A = this chain, B = another copy of it.
Amino acid sequence: MDIATIGGIIGGIALVLFGIIAGGVGVGPYMDSGSALIVVGGTFSAFFVAYPLSRALSIGRVLSKIMGNSSNPVGEVIKIIMDLANVARKEGLLALEEAVTDVNDPFMKKGVTLIVDGTDPELVKTILETELEHEAVRHNQGKGMFDTLGSIAPAFGMIGTLIGLIAMLKNLDDPSTIGPSMAVALITTFYGSLMANLLFIPMAKKLEIKSADEALIKEVMIEGLLSIQAGENPRIIEEKLRVFLSPKVRKEVGTEEEVREEGEADG
């Protein structure tokens, strides 16, 4: 469970509620089920126009990826690869089969199986890189869904406001209703902006970052596995893989902190 996602959403809603209550008219005027229906319903209607049915329905799985745990830190992955490299060095490539049984990453497992089967190194590289590439495409499509939602939601917010404004303007006889009518009209814009800026756009960003992290890890795995297959010296392999770490993490490798600190965007 990604605590930042949940915490950010709860925090954002709490702050908006605080702002509403501070406004002095209570929460009531901001709750309008019809407005919610227009914005949410309209956004998802356009979403179904934009995405084929099977893909549109997969949004739940994309969402669970956004809310789920981050991938293993690079530091840990490098340790596993170094263990495999040492096994291969001492006992030969075939010994990897047993060594990989503890690893539960399917990509790493597949790579080791290909190596143990004596597959041509060029083919191992092609298969693993094609898989990495196609996973990136799939992740990018998932991000695209949230980007689409993030740009359509404010548009339907504005469409709802236009509907309300036109109704109000047609009906200016009683001046006392102008204010409240316009308030209602603005609620859809409020909903659309909040949905886009607190949920959809940041979620698309988080998916992008998680995908980049996963791709980096797969790149490390490919680099490491090909080096193991080529029979390279474990010291050289470690040197090659450590460049994937940020300088800060590099210093800490070997300490308890490494796992927690890894993956930070420092320079």
Query: Could you list which residues of chain A lie within 8 angstroms of chain B, going by C-beta atoms?
Result: 2-5, 7-9, 11-12, 15-16, 18-20, 22-25, 29-30, 34, 37-38, 41-42, 44-58, 61-62, 65, 70, 106, 123, 126-127, 130-131, 134-135, 137-139, 141-142, 144-145, 148, 151-152, 155-156, 158-160, 162-172, 176, 178-180, 182-183, 186-187, 189-190, 193-194, 196-199, 201-203, 205-206, 209-214, 216, 236, 239-240, 243-244, 246-248, 260-267
| Partner pick for A148 among B7, B22, B205, B247, CB 8 A cutoff | B205
Which B residues lie within 8 Å of A3 (CB)?
53
Query: In the complex, what distance in Å separates the CA atom of A81 from the CA atom of B70?
Result: 37
Docked CA distance A44–B5 (Å): 11
B209 touches A52 (CB 8 A): yes
A202 and B4 within 8 A (CB): no
How many copies make up the complex?
5
Taking the closest CB of chain B, its distance from the CB of A123, in whole angstroms, is 7
CB distance from A36 to the nearest CB of B (A): 11
Least Cβ–Cβ distance between A190 and chain B, in angstroms: 4
Distance in angstroms between the alpha carbons of A248 and B135 in the assembled complex: 12
CA distance A31 to B267 in the complex (A): 36
